[in-house]
């Protein structure tokens, strides 16, 4: 950690030397550490301390970006000059509205001392406890435990001055037998909030119950999708539909559908980085305050997230979802996706299934098949079960699904009261906060031999 005062003092001096019409500096400092384990022993401990400093220079309405990972004054000045030289070679961008002006940000507690102080020995002790739970059943355990500390600074020549320190702890674990596997994961800014023993027991129990899995024919089934599975689906939809760029290009399932009912009225999806139930964060990567944005509200299409450029095209206000400068052409993304919870206790959801499939999570998802209709495909993994008359009967061999999110989530039977946090694309600034969902119809298109 460098600290707010030292960072501002150094970067202000560089900013003052800019010859551009407008200038922005984005600083991202990260101290990250990771403990990986497989076959029930730790096989990797890594740590990285790195900086990313982006300069965005504006010449008229031409924009240039350059970056460095050096905090040496000469390197910063050279990168600043390079960004202006790049700007002067760029075509004019008539949609660029200029850099944002200063704004007020919600005060959020995003830093935890215990997480920041976690040592390799501390992580190893936690991993030992996780492995011990698997050893009780003579299973092996694999996964990863990470902790990170970040500092994010945004300042520009129009007066924006934003600083936020963050911490994150994330864990995932897979218990494995000769014929099965079980998964659990969690993320939090506070390492003490994660119940590692409970998660390990959850993974072991899934592994135990899914041993010697049976085969089932692909088809249309009732399903209970657990939060990790839904988080994987929403991660894709965030890229291909909740982003302003595909929305404006007409490829999002929301394009031309605002105000129309698209799913069950039980489905509400939104982004809210100011909610402490998520990994909250107050501003985006050009210093615009975060706003709550609904994608679907009680099944009705409401909107998408915007950065400054795409918002200017539609003459709307940006929502605080601009990416880092090198990704400006990618549009805007949600960082803190929520699916609103329901009214049913999770432990009672299985009881409502006559004959269906419980899915712990997916992998190898693809959302490019037909994004206008929100068609996704992927594989089940680490805990797929047959449920009959409210009871888990056995484990199932993994299945491929191919279905429209809109069609499937128009068949909602119940949504759990409880929610879980799962990693998003960049956990320093957000995560997915998701309940479990019972669907009346979900289409599996293929099967596997494992």
**Given a cut of 90, is residue 260 above it in pLDDT?**
yes
pLDDT in tens, 210-253: 999 999 999 999 999 999 999 999 999 999 999 999 999 999 99
Average pLDDT, the chain: 97
- The predicted model gives 97-110 an average pLDDT of 96
pLDDT in tens, 364-401: 999 999 999 999 999 999 999 999 999 999 999 999 99
**Nearest to 267, CA basis, from 360, 342, 343, 353:** 342
Q: Which CATH superfamily is domain 4-206 in?
A: PmbA/TldD superfamily (3.30.2290.10)
The phi and psi torsions of 358 (rounded to 5 degrees) equal: -95, 125
Q: How confident is the model at residue 427 (pLDDT cuts 50, 70, 90)?
A: confident
pLDDT in tens, 430-446: 999 999 999 999 999 99
Q: Alpha helices of 380-444 — where are they, by DSSP H? A: 405-408
pLDDT in tens, 113-151: 999 999 999 999 999 999 999 999 999 999 999 999 999
3-state secondary structure at position 84? helix
Structure tokens at 4: 């707010």
Helix (H) or strand (E) holding 23: strand 22-38
- The predicted model gives 177-204 an average pLDDT of 98
Quote the pLDDT of residue 162.
98
CA angle, 406 then 248 then 402, to 5°: 25
Proportion of the chain above pLDDT 70, given as a percent: 100
**Nearest to 382, CA basis, from 365, 405, 399:** 399
Quote the pLDDT of residue 380.
98
Residue 193 neighbours by CB under 8 Å, 6+ apart: none
pLDDT in tens, 310-359: 999 999 999 999 999 999 889 999 999 999 999 999 989 999 899 999 99
**Given a cut of 80, is residue 426 above it in pLDDT?**
no
Helix 73-89 vs helix 4-15: crossing angle, to nearest 10 = 50
**CA separation, residue 380 to residues 58, 101, 443, 450 (Å):** 47, 47, 12, 11
**CA separation, residue 173 to residues 134, 183, 335, 344, 365 (Å):** 10, 6, 24, 27, 20
Quote the pLDDT of residue 145.
98
Structure tokens at 392: 């888990």
3-state secondary structure at position 88? helix
Q: How confident is the model at residue 24 (pLDDT cuts 50, 70, 90)?
A: very high
Domain ranges for the chain, please list them. Answer: 4-206, 213-447
How far is Cα of residue 307 from the mean position of the Cα atoms in its chain? 18
Which pTM does this prediction carry?
A: 0.96
Quote the pLDDT of residue 450.
87
Quote the pLDDT of residue 425.
74
- The predicted model gives 83-104 an average pLDDT of 96
Query: What is the C-alpha to C-alpha distance for residues 387 and 356, in angstroms, rounded to an integer?
Result: 5
pLDDT in tens, 49-90: 999 999 999 999 999 999 999 999 999 999 999 999 999 999
């Amino acid at each position: 950690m460098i600290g707010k005062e030292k960072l501002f003092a150094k970067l202000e001096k560089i900013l003052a030397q800019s010859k551009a019409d407008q200038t922005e500096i984005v600083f991202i400092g990260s101290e990250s550490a990771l403990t990986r384990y497989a076959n029930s022993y730790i096989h990797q401990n890594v740590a990285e301390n790195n900086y990313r400093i982006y300069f965005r220079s504006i010449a008229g309405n031409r924009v240039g970006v350059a970056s460095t990972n050096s905090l040496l004054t000469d390197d910063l000045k050279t990168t600043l000059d390079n960004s202006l030289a790049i700007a002067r070679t760029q075509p004019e961008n008539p949609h660029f509205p200029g850099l944002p002006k200063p704004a007020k940000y919600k005060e959020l507690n995003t830093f935890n001392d215990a997480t920041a102080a976690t040592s390799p020995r501390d992580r190893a002790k936690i991993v030992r406890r996780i492995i011990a739970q698997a050893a009780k059943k003579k299973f092996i355990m694999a996964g990863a435990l990470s902790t990170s500390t970040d500092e994010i600074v945004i300042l520009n020549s129009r007066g924006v001055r934003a600083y936020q320190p963050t911490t994150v702890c994330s864990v995932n674990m897979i218990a494995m037998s000769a014929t099965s596997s079980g998964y659990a994961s969690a993320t939090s800014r506070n390492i003490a909030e994660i119940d590692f023993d409970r998660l390990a027991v959850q993974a072991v129990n899934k592994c135990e119950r899914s041993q010697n899995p049976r085969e089932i024919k692909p088809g249309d089934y009732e399903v209970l999708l657990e939060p990790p599975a839904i988080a994987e689906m929403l991660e894709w939809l965030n890229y291909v539909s909740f982003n302003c760029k595909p929305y404006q290009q007409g490829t999002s399932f929301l394009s031309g559908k605002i105000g129309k009912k698209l799913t069950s009225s039980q489905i509400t999806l939104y982004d809210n980085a100011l909610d402490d139930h998520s990994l909250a964060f107050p501003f985006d990567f050009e210093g615009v305050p975060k706003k709550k944005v609904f994608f679907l509200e009680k099944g009705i299409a409401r909107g998408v997230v915007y950065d400054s450029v795409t918002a200017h095209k539609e003459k709307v206000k940006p929502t605080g979802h601009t990416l880092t400068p090198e990704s400006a052409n990618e549009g805007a993304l949600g960082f803190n996706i929520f699916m609103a919870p329901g009214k049913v206790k999770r432990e009672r959801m299985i009881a409502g299934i006559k004959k269906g499939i419980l899915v712990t999570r997916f992998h190898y998802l693809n959302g490019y098949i037909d994004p206008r209709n929100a068609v996704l495909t992927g594989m089940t993994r680490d805990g797929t079960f047959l449920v009959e008359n409210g009871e888990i009967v056995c484990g199932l061999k993994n299945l491929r699904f191919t279905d429209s999110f809109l069609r499937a989530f128009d068949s909602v039977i119940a949504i759990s009261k409880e929610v879980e946090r799962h990693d998003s694309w960049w956990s320093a600034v957000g995560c997915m906060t998701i309940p479990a969902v019972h669907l009346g119809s979900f289409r599996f298109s293929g099967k596997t031999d494992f």
